[in-house]
Amino acid sequence: MTRRSYHNGLKTTVLLASMWAILLLIGAVIAQGTGRAWWIWVFAGIGLVQTGIAYWNSASIALRSMNAYAVTEAERPDLYRIVRELSERAGQPMPSLWIAPTQTPNAFATGRDPQHAAVCCTEGILELLNERELRGVLGHELMHVYNRDILTSSVAAAMGGIITSIAQFLMFFGAGNRRDNNGGVGVLAAIAMSLLAPIAATLIQFSISRTREFDADEDGAQLTSDPLALASALRKLDHMTERRPMQPTPANQNVAAMMIANPFRGQGMRALFSTHPPMDQRIERLEKIAGY
């Protein structure tokens, strides 16, 4: 299989560098306000620990969040046949296969690298799609693994979390520590930073996810040689998710960005903060690949 190039390394570097810039900006405000520069090292250390935990345990955390259960080849021979064929075609190891007990149709891949990967389908998607469409979805998810998207998403999520935590601390500090104009940080600056920094971090994290979805669509279409199958699957997923959305919880909200389709119903401002690009744009791109 010939791998497509989307300059993913450059995109990821720019986006993650932006998150680090936000982190350093918050650190500079804290250092100025407290007069103690070591606070930024404390929060930076926490961020590194969070990143490490997210990286090494991304698969188990995501699967546990969805109450997923592993399936054997005897239980789902169709699923194993498709994934084995696509894995061999890509020259990559076979991931473990899991099923999440929810009727909301969706799928996601997780794991720190192709050797420790897992692909999970919901019960709903297995009932909704035919074999050709399911093959398109699985090709998409496998390309997330082969493109090392999970590492990027885990790092971005950890960074976004630590930036939000630091910003919240800054608001608390700013509200309780007013200083004169010659030094420190005022309450208004602290509150502004605490509100804007998490929003900026979230938007950057979502940008990473949206970019990766487009790339996995195109790479998955190349892997399966059937872009219209994935386009058909996305149409069904979009329609059925509106009728049968997943109920947001703290656990599944962390996994939502990894899924092939946004599992939550969202309109207006909620759509702006969606982790996925608009479905019609994804379908249009796939149809263009097929020559339509």
- Report the catalytic residues: 141
List beta partners, residue 259: 108
Do 63 and 118 meet the contact criterion of CB atoms below 8 Å apart? yes
List beta partners, residue 100: 122
State the burial class of residue 72 (Cβ atoms within 10 Å of its Cβ: 0-12, 13-18, 19+). exposed
CA 151 – CA 175 distance, rounded (Å): 36
Laid out side by side, the sheet with 107-110 consists of 69-70, 96-100, 118-122, 107-110
Whole-Å CA distances, 236 to 130, 217, 220, 243? 11, 15, 18, 11
List beta partners, residue 97: 119
The structure tokens listed for 212 are 């990766």
CA 202 – CA 157 distance, rounded (Å): 8
CA 150 – CA 228 distance, rounded (Å): 25
